[in-house]
Amino acid sequence: MACLATLALSLPGCALLMPYNPLPAELEERVQMPGMPGVRAWGDQYSESFEQSAAESIEQEKAANNGELEPVLNVLALSGGGAQGAFGAGILCGWTKAGTRPQFKLVTGISTGALMAPFAFLGSDYDKTLEEVYTTISSQDIYEPHNPVAILLSLINLKALPSMADTRPLTRLAARMVDAELLRKVAQEHLKGRRLLIGTTQLEAQRLAIWNMGAIAASGHPQALELFRKIMVASASIPAMFPPQHFEVEAAGSHFQEMHVDGGTRVQVMLYESSIRFVAVPSGRPRRLFIIRNEQVHPEWLKVKPQLKHIAIRTIDTLLKSQGVGDLFRLFVFAQRDQFDYNLVYIQPDFTQRPTSSFDTAYMNELFQKGFQMACCGQPWRKYPPGYEPTPSREQDDSPDPPMASQESSNRSGGSP
């Protein structure tokens, strides 16, 4: 989502809209994926299937660990940010280098975070893949711009185009990176009690859809791999810039289609939102939430030309930044409610390089190295959302913030999540 500015400036090919049979509004609460019930939920609504999956994950974890649970429950949330996902990739790889990166019970991803989430979920064995994706690709590996004349004709309803660019390159990249072996490994970890969630925006409903990617991988459905890839692409499909992804769904015995776009349209970073309540689940072991925000959260000065295009681009970028900061506060509230230790890292103001294109390879390499060095050096995680840090006069814990390289330890417990 953060790449809107440069993409709009760079925006050859024409496309016709496919026949579309949208899900009726009155059936949105009954929608399911054909042959894979319970693999998705609305982010703003309690889900019995997701609550059951959370409960099952405890028994699966015990079965995989000789009847015990891991001493600490670690959760990783990966935000949107376009090419700035290189920062998060660098953090993860540097964390591995430091030797203290934990295994995560739950990994969530939105937008560019969705593209890296499966690899972060599977652990350090996929660090090389993360580094390759975020330090070697360029714009041509992500999208193919449509002819400007075709875009103009579409804007005045003389031609049918769903977007300014085609994401067939991104689809090919996803197919290359996510193969049957990766799907098998995700399924294997899911059956050990770990969970991988990715968010997309159902555009017509204006709602966040959360996908249980491990359940999809473990379903054995012949279309599981194709669906897995499509969800990743959908979560990174900037609306209007990239075409939406259409999903075949069923409700009330009939088949329909849904239009899904970038998860960042709804939220820039997510947990499990309202889909899980942990009803009557006591706190039996420490819980830690780690958030990687692939963006700067502080205002950045930029001279704006007094022209419609530049004003619009700057306005959208400002709105996205504000939304992202708000999401960090929302997750802070979730952490307080569900007894998670809150840990946040984001791109620091001292990183002043600017990209020359949507996916500037040199810029992404610099950003990857920035994240890598921060993690290697044990840069402290921030314990509060930006702007909410305690003032010197406020009573606070005298202990320092935990460095990025540190990891709490506790006795093994058979307690709850």
Output the CA–CA distances (angstroms, integers) from residue 315 to 158, 304, 318, in the order listed: 28, 10, 5
Looking at residue 312, its pLDDT comes to 86
Taking alpha carbons only, the member of 203, 335, 329, 191 closest to residue 261 is 203
Burial of residue 416, with CB atoms counted within 10 A of its CB: 0-12 exposed, 13-18 middle, 19 or more buried: middle
Looking at residue 20, its pLDDT comes to 83
Regarding predicted confidence, which is higher, 415 or 197?
A: 197
Looking at residue 404, its pLDDT comes to 58
The pairing of strands 195-202 and 254-261 is antiparallel
- For residue 219, give both structure tokens: 């379903």
Looking at residue 166, its pLDDT comes to 83
Q: How far apart (Å, rounded) are the C-alpha atoms in residues 405 and 384?
A: 18
Looking at residue 158, its pLDDT comes to 53
Q: How far apart (Å, rounded) are the C-alpha atoms in residues 177 and 172?
A: 9
Looking at residue 10, its pLDDT comes to 42
DSSP three-state, residue 75: strand
DSSP string, 288-337: EEEEEEEEE-S-------SSHHHHHHHHHHHHHHHHHHHHHHHHHHHHHH
> Using the 8-state DSSP alphabet, how is residue 82 labeled?
G
Average pLDDT over residues 231-242: 91
What is the share, in percent, of the chain residues with pLDDT greater than 90? 72
Q: What length is written for the chain?
A: 417
Looking at residue 278, its pLDDT comes to 73
What are the pLDDT digits (tens) for 257-289? 999 999 999 999 999 999 998 754 445 799 999
Average pLDDT over residues 37-48: 96
Regarding predicted confidence, which is higher, 298 or 408?
A: 298
What are the pLDDT digits (tens) for 293-343? 999 999 989 999 999 888 988 998 899 999 999 999 999 999 999 999 999
402: Cβ contacts below 8 Å, ≥ 6 apart:
343, 380, 381, 408
Average pLDDT over residues 39-64: 96
Regarding predicted confidence, which is higher, 164 or 135?
A: 135
Looking at residue 11, its pLDDT comes to 40
Taking alpha carbons only, the member of 63, 75, 134 closest to residue 103 is 75
What is the share, in percent, of the chain residues with pLDDT greater than 70? 85
Average pLDDT over residues 57-84: 95
Q: Helix 127-136 and helix 168-177: axis angle, to 10°?
A: 160
Using alpha carbons only, give the angle 243, 315, 269 rounded to the nearest 5 degrees: 60
289 DSSP β-pair partners? 75, 342
209: Cβ contacts below 8 Å, ≥ 6 apart:
40, 41, 42, 43, 199, 200, 201, 202, 260
pLDDT at 39 over 80: yes
Within 10 angstroms of residue 48's Cβ, the number of other Cβ atoms is 10
Q: Which amino acid does the sequence have at 250? A: E
Looking at residue 395, its pLDDT comes to 47
- Could you give phi then psi for residue 86, rounded to 5 degrees? -60, -30
What are the pLDDT digits (tens) for 118-153? 999 999 999 999 999 999 998 888 888 767 766 666
Sign of the Cα torsion 179, 185, 186, 191 reads positive
Looking at residue 279, its pLDDT comes to 58
Looking at residue 378, its pLDDT comes to 83
Looking at residue 408, its pLDDT comes to 41
Regarding predicted confidence, which is higher, 285 or 415?
A: 285
Looking at residue 368, its pLDDT comes to 97
- For residue 17, give both structure tokens: 């809209």
What are the pLDDT digits (tens) for 353-389? 999 888 999 999 999 999 999 999 887 899 999 999 8
